[in-house]
Structure 1
Amino acid sequence: MVSVPDARSFGRGKLAAWFQRSEAARGYALMSPALIVLLIGIAVPLIILIAMSLWTRDGFGFDMTPTIANYQRAATEPIFGTLLTRSFMISGLATFITVLLCYPMAYYVAFHVHRNKMLWIVLMTLPFWTSYLLRVFAWRVILGYEGVINSAFLSAGWIEAPLEFLLYSQTAVVITLAHAWAAFAILPLYVSLEKIDKSLLEAATDLGDGPFTRFMRITLPLSMPGVIAASFLIFIPTTGDYITPALLGGPDGVMIGNLIQLQFGPVNNWPMGAALSIVLMAWIAALALVFLFITRKAKDHLA
């Protein structure tokens, strides 16, 4: 008697064979736990935030009738636009300074350190093993009216009165952010520089290129992925930072993150805070796309 294979078993067999042949399917299967976590941890809160931004505050509760009143208020009231612009300026300046200062450090380790590179990386990131809040308070002590910098300048006779612009200003926020996020710039910059084929630099030297020309034609374009990654890793979180502006910024250093925290905190206007968060994310996404477009054009021009 000839046995007829079960259709379900036959289908499962074909599915298993396809799964074994398909590298993409195996990749998605390996990524599925992480994708589920990301879906739960990012997509679900984002959907809740978008829904909440369409509500309005009603006394001590919320009116869940959908409306765009919060977005209209965010677009019309000058305070929101002012803080948003200030946040982008402070974050952009901190990002530029951080990448500019960290690039030579990463370059030196990638091209001139031949032994114990991991030790150098650990030493460069050692200050960032401490709490972010402790580092902010440390800069508060350094930049204070009677802090380390003012005391040293007064002792040396370089100034007659303490420098008031160091603390509770945008300068203090930029300096602290640039230091606090430096480790997030060093690592991607080092990885991109380390991957550059050294034979390309040797060939450029043999063809008569000097150090500057070799850097502009080979090193910088090939390290642009690290520069872009470092810029994103710094610009995105620092734009919404509220701890550093709250402790060091003063009235002139308040950023949009402080206003969002205020809406979710003392003001208890969660819908408005959610709307401001969505507006901030939309602007960051738009600026990121513009930055990618500009850097790609610049990379093509350098190449």
Structure 2
Amino acid sequence: MDTAPAAKASIHAQTPPKRRALLFLVLPPALWLLCFLVLPYLGLFFQSFLGTNDLGDVVLEPSLDAWKAFFTKTLYRSTLLYTFKIALTVTSLAVLFSVPLAYFIAFKVRRGKELLYSLIIVPLWVSYIVRAYAWKIILGREGILNSFLQWAKITDAPVEAFLYSEWAIIIGLVHIYTPFVLMPVYTAFEQIPRSLVEASKDLGAGRITTFFRVVLPLSLPGVIAGGTFAFVLTLGDFLAPVLLGGTDNLMISNVVQNLFGTSNDRPLGSVVGIVLLVVVVALLETTSRAEKSFASLESGRGRGGLGAQPGSSGRSPHRPTGGAR
């Protein structure tokens, strides 16, 4: 008896309920993204091409004044470049702190590894505002740092340059966003096969050579992911510049906040927001392509042999290469 038609009928009978269940699972997040992500950005895009009246209210008339103002006034371009500089500095320092610490926890710590990792993640449980304000207390005129310097007779008066400066913003943001870099870097280190590290040492490579030729290349996807997190989050930060930088060190997010708030210039604020969005999307696309190209490069190296030192043609130095065995 042929059971194929019955089986096909059974499959077709089960398909609609499965599709309805899949639609039920996909529809809520899709609607959420549509309502709270796609539509707001579309609203910003269309609002950027509208004009304003003398009172600053948006009028439904096509206008390119907001785009002209953004590209002709140096304030917005200089603030955007300043934000990029802060974000790049914060990302670089966060990576420099995270890579050695993650390497130490992943490769050197035998006991208590989970405890150390948890202690690093604990600051994420504290409110962002509390962490930023803590640095204001530390760096302030009557803060912990100035009090210690005066107690140690290093300075006679409080140092005003600690707070409301560019470096105060950088210090606060590095402290806030370093855990976001550390987590993917540590995960990448944990996923590296220890046999590759041992093979590198067996071939005569030292610890430094092994780190830069084996460990670091294999962990680059995690480093890129963590650096991207820190860079994007720093670009959108607006609270730390206010608390730690004062009025002379505003970043692009503060400009957007002022344009939608006190300045009441929503078309220009929409332009700045769209430009920032395009920059972030371009950055994410670039890092995604970099990770894919690196993965393909590593797979090509893997097919050619792992653990070979440069110039050794993949052969062990103790293996005979001539005709004698």
TM range (shorter): 0.7 to 0.9
287-296 or 55-64, which deviates more: 287-296
* Cα offset, 1:288, TM superposition: 4.6
* Secondary structure of residue in 1 paired with 2:62: coil
Q: How does 1:184-195 map to 2 (within 5 A)?
A: 184-195=180-191
Equivalent of 2:65 in 48, 63, 69: 69
Equivalent of 1:174 in 163, 170, 175: 170
* Cα offset, 1:119, TM superposition: 2.5
The whole-number CA distance in structure 1 between the counterparts of 2:33 and 2:117 is: 29
* Secondary structure of residue in 2 paired with 1:184: helix
Note closer, same or farther for the CA distance 1:232–1:29 as it changes in structure 2 (3 Å cut). Answer: farther
Note closer, same or farther for the CA distance 1:52–1:146 as it changes in structure 2 (3 Å cut). Answer: same
Equivalent of 1:200 in 196, 203, 213: 196
Asked if 2 retains the 8 angstrom alpha-carbon contact of 1:98 and 1:182, the reply is: yes
Asked if 1 retains the 8 angstrom alpha-carbon contact of 2:141 and 2:160, the reply is: yes
* Cα offset, 1:217, TM superposition: 1.1
* Cα offset, 1:175, TM superposition: 0.4
Q: How does 1:23-34 map to 2 (within 5 A)?
A: 33-34=28-29
The whole-number CA distance in structure 2 between the counterparts of 1:15 and 1:269 is: 55
State the one-letter code of the partner of 2:256. I
* Secondary structure of residue in 2 paired with 1:159: coil
Which residue number corresponds to residue 37 of structure 1? 32
Q: How does 1:57-96 map to 2 (within 5 A)?
A: 57-58=52-53, 59-96=55-92
Note closer, same or farther for the CA distance 1:33–1:134 as it changes in structure 2 (3 Å cut). Answer: same
The whole-number CA distance in structure 1 between the counterparts of 2:127 and 2:40 is: 26
State the one-letter code of the partner of 2:12. G
The whole-number CA distance in structure 2 between the counterparts of 1:75 and 1:152 is: 47
Asked if 2 retains the 8 angstrom alpha-carbon contact of 1:55 and 1:65, the reply is: yes
The whole-number CA distance in structure 1 between the counterparts of 2:264 and 2:45 is: 17
Asked if 2 retains the 8 angstrom alpha-carbon contact of 1:54 and 1:64, the reply is: no
Unaligned segments of structure 2, at least 5 residues: 302-325
The whole-number CA distance in structure 1 between the counterparts of 2:25 and 2:110 is: 36
RMSD of equivalent CA atoms: 3.1
Unaligned segments of structure 1, at least 5 residues: 21-25
292-301 or 238-247, which deviates more: 292-301
Which residue number corresponds to residue 241 of structure 1? 237
Note closer, same or farther for the CA distance 1:164–1:80 as it changes in structure 2 (3 Å cut). Answer: same
Which residue number corresponds to residue 50 of structure 2? 55
The whole-number CA distance in structure 2 between the counterparts of 1:94 and 1:186 is: 13
* Secondary structure of residue in 1 paired with 2:141: coil
* Secondary structure of residue in 2 paired with 1:164: coil
Asked if 2 retains the 8 angstrom alpha-carbon contact of 1:128 and 1:183, the reply is: yes
Higher helix content, 1 or 2: 1
State the one-letter code of the partner of 1:40. C
Q: Deviations over 1:137-178 (max 9, x none)?
A: 110010112211121122222234433221101110000011
* Secondary structure of residue in 2 paired with 1:64: strand
The whole-number CA distance in structure 2 between the counterparts of 1:73 and 1:15 is: 59
Equivalent of 2:108 in 96, 99, 112: 112
Which residue number corresponds to residue 214 of structure 2? 218
State the one-letter code of the partner of 2:38. A
State the one-letter code of the partner of 1:190. Y
Which residue number corresponds to residue 12 of structure 2? 13
TM-score (norm. length: structure 2): 0.79
Note closer, same or farther for the CA distance 1:153–1:297 as it changes in structure 2 (3 Å cut). Answer: farther
The whole-number CA distance in structure 2 between the counterparts of 1:100 and 1:182 is: 10
Asked if 1 retains the 8 angstrom alpha-carbon contact of 2:228 and 2:287, the reply is: no
* Secondary structure of residue in 2 paired with 1:56: strand
Rg larger in structure: 2
* Secondary structure of residue in 2 paired with 1:65: strand
Equivalent of 1:98 in 82, 94, 98: 94
* Secondary structure of residue in 2 paired with 1:165: coil
Q: How does 1:134-149 map to 2 (within 5 A)?
A: 134-149=130-145
The whole-number CA distance in structure 1 between the counterparts of 2:83 and 2:224 is: 20
TM-score (norm. length: structure 1): 0.84
Provide the identity percentage: 35
Which residue number corresponds to residue 271 of structure 1? 267
